[in-house]
Each structure stands twice: as C-alpha cells, then as structure tokens.
Amino acid sequence: MLDDRPYMRPGEPNFGSSPLKQPWAGWAILLSLNVVVFILQVLVDSNSLAQSSRFANSIVAKYLALDTANITWMLPLQLVTFQFLHGGVMHLLMNGLGLFFIGRALEPAIGRREIIALYLMSGLAGGFFQLLFAVVFPDQFAGPMVGASAGVFGFMGVLARLFPQREVYLLLFFVLPLRLKLNWIFWGSFAIAVLSIAVAIQTAAGDQVAHAAHLGGLLYGAFFVAALLRRGGFLSLFSKIPKVRIVSDAAVPGKGAAKRRDWRRPKVVDAAEVSGEDFISQEVDPILDKISKQGIHSLNERERKILEKARSKM
C-alpha cells in the first residue's frame, strides 16, 4: 500500500521537487545568519571586533553584546543578539565549523525546528551561566560577551548524549588525527570547561574565553536529551497551548460576528471513518513527509495518535 508513496521510492530523496525548492536545513540557516550578521557588524562599526582597542566603545559592546558587567533593561535582547555576533574572523570560523559539522550530524535526529530552538536555548543557558559567574566573580567573568559557541556546545551535548558510542575523527592542533567516541568528547569538554573556570577563579584573571557559557550550553544539551527529547523535544512543550482555528468566514446569524473561532484542539481523525487508502493519503502521508524532513521528534501529540491508528489499521 505504501510502495507508491514518494518517500518510499528509492532515488527520490527530494520528493520529486527541485533541491532549490527544498527548505534550508536548520544548521544552514543558523550559519548563514551568523555570517550575514558578522558582515553587517564590520560594515556598520569596524570597532566592534574584539581585537580593536576601541571595542568597549563600539555599538556592539554597548548595546548588542551580553555585557555581564553592566546589566541593563536590554538584557532580554542581548541574550539573543550576542549569539550571532563575533569578535573576529577566526572566532566566526571556529564556531562556523562547529555549526557545519555538528549541525549536519545532529539535524537528521531531531529535525530542523528543534535544532534552531536548541541553538537559541543553549545560548540562553550559556548566557545565564556567564551572568551567574560574573555576579560572584566579576573580575574573572564580567564583560561583554559575543559568539555562537554556547549554541555549538549545546549541539555537541545533544549529539554526544544521543550517540555516546559513535566514533569521530578529530585533528588535534589541526595536524594529529585522533579517533574518539562522542562520550569521551562530551566529558572531555565538560572537564576542560570546569577546570578553566576553576583556574580563572584561583588566579583571579580571565583568559577572554567564556568558559561558563560553554559549560551552560553543554549542560543544556545533556538536559535536552535527558528530560525533553523523550517528550518530543523543546517545541512539544508548546503543543498543549490551545490553537485558534477558523471554522467559518460566514456571518453568524443574530450575533453580527464575521468569524467564529474554535479554541478546542483539532479532532483526531478516526481510521474507521474513512477507507484505508484515503486515510493513508489524507492523514498519514503528510506526517511521513514531516518525519523525513524534520525528524520524528517534530511530531505533535495529534500526529502521533494518527500514526498509532494507521499502524493498527494496517
């Protein structure tokens, strides 16, 4: 029954449409945003690069970076904007490589929307960690912070906790090849972040690296796998919010209303109400398309129930 579906035919990964018409991958959207924002950052204010002696007076440092030394009413905005700004070309290159390699490996497992949400939430977690340490140890951790590294560490946290035994090749110092399990990389990254924080506290001097933000992003990634993934991911937390659905555009007699809205949840179609072929084409096909493009964790409660009914019918 399913052999004639587009997603079941070999050699048709694009579902019969041009690759140019396919939606961008989540990691590609994030990488492109970081590159575009960096170009705008340099064009608008050349002093916004971290190596500039006038960085402290730049627009980025004053308004858009997460300044843990000077918390203002712009903090909610800065918790988002700092994730797309960078201190220089090498800073952008290192984070871009992380988004490219880790994002490509992770997105098929959790889907496009979840990987974008993961990036933002890992950045928020990293920002809050840096703020917390800056309040307690201002000399070591306070100051403007920019970069996508908290999001990249969140990617690594999820990938390593999802596939701890998967082996990857790394170039140590860009020369020496190493083959490591992702579980080792996770705990190694954790140990490096904690040790760097401890050294900064003991020596009363920072090294201009946001180790607390790295730790926050990594821990959020582990939390995502441990607590959220089994429930359908971060975005599933919003699936229980009642949705507005237009029932009719015609005026309701006697009330003068032009539209009616149903705040109830959409009804799950019963497989017994329609024929097997119609049920597959009308209800199951779109869900399988969604799984192919965004991952099984992108399904909401209604779509999961439909798949269960389809399984019992077949």
pLDDT at 91 over 50: yes
Name which of 38-52, 79-93, 99-113, 158-172 the model is least confident about: 38-52
pLDDT of res. 251: 45
In the structure encoding, which two tokens stand for residue 304, read together?
A: 């999961």
Q: Above 90 in pLDDT, residue 167?
A: no
CATH code that applies to domain 23-237: 1.20.1540.10
Looking at per-residue pLDDT, the higher value among 127 and 307 belongs to 127
Would you state the pLDDT for residue 274? 44
Least confident window among 99-113, 166-180, 228-242: 228-242
Average pLDDT over residues 91-115: 92
Least confident of 84-88, 130-134, 160-164, 226-230: 226-230
Q: What is the DSSP letter of 48?
A: G
| Beta-carbon contacts of residue 185 (< 8 Å; ≥ 6 apart) | 156, 160, 168, 170
Rounded to an integer, the average pLDDT of 119-132 is 95
pLDDT at 281 over 90: no
> Which tokens go with 158?
């999820």
**Which one-letter amino acid corresponds to residue 108?**
P
Higher per-residue pLDDT: 68 or 191: 191
- Please check whether residue 157 is in contact with residue 129, taking contact to mean a CB–CB distance below 8 angstroms: no
- Determine the Cα–Cα distance for residues 303 and 239; give it in Å rounded to an integer: 11
The token pair that represents 87 in the structure block: 């201190």
The closest of 295, 282, 256, 300 to 113, measured between CA atoms, is 295
- Ramachandran class of 262: left when φ > 0, alpha when ψ lies in -120 to 50, beta otherwise: beta
Rg of the chain, C-alpha, whole Å: 24
- Distance, CA of 150 to CA of 127 (rounded, Å): 8
Residue ranges covered by each domain of the chain: 23-237, 239-313
Measured CA to CA, the distance from residue 68 to residue 139 in angstroms comes to 11
Share of the chain above pLDDT 90, in %: 35
Q: How confident is the model at residue 185 (pLDDT cuts 50, 70, 90)?
A: very high
Please report which confidence band the pLDDT of residue 16 belongs to, taking 50, 70 and 90 as the band edges.
very low
Q: What share of the chain is helix, strand, coil (3-state, %, to 5)?
A: 65, 10, 30
- Residues 198 and 100: their CA atoms lie apart, in Å, by 30
Q: Are 213 and 150 within 8 A, CB to CB?
A: yes
d(C-alpha 245, C-alpha 263), whole Å: 7
Distances (CA, A) of 218 to 47, 54, 208, 290: 31, 32, 19, 28
- Percent of the chain's residues with pLDDT above 70: 70
Q: How confident is the model at residue 298 (pLDDT cuts 50, 70, 90)?
A: low
Q: At 154, list the tokens.
A: 């969140």
Give the number of other Cβ atoms within 10 Å of residue 38's Cβ.
22
User: Does the pLDDT value for residue 156 go beyond 90?
Assistant: yes
Q: Could you give the 3-state DSSP secondary structure of residue 176?
A: strand
Contact 69, 141 (CB under 8 A): no
Per DSSP, the three-state class of 306 is helix
How far is Cα 122 from Cα 224, in angstroms, rounded to an integer? 9
State the average pLDDT over residues 58-85: 87
Q: Is the Cβ–Cβ distance between 88 and 47 less than 8 Å?
A: no
Q: Does pTM surpass 0.75?
A: no
Which tens digit of pLDDT belongs to each residue from 214-224?
999 999 999 99
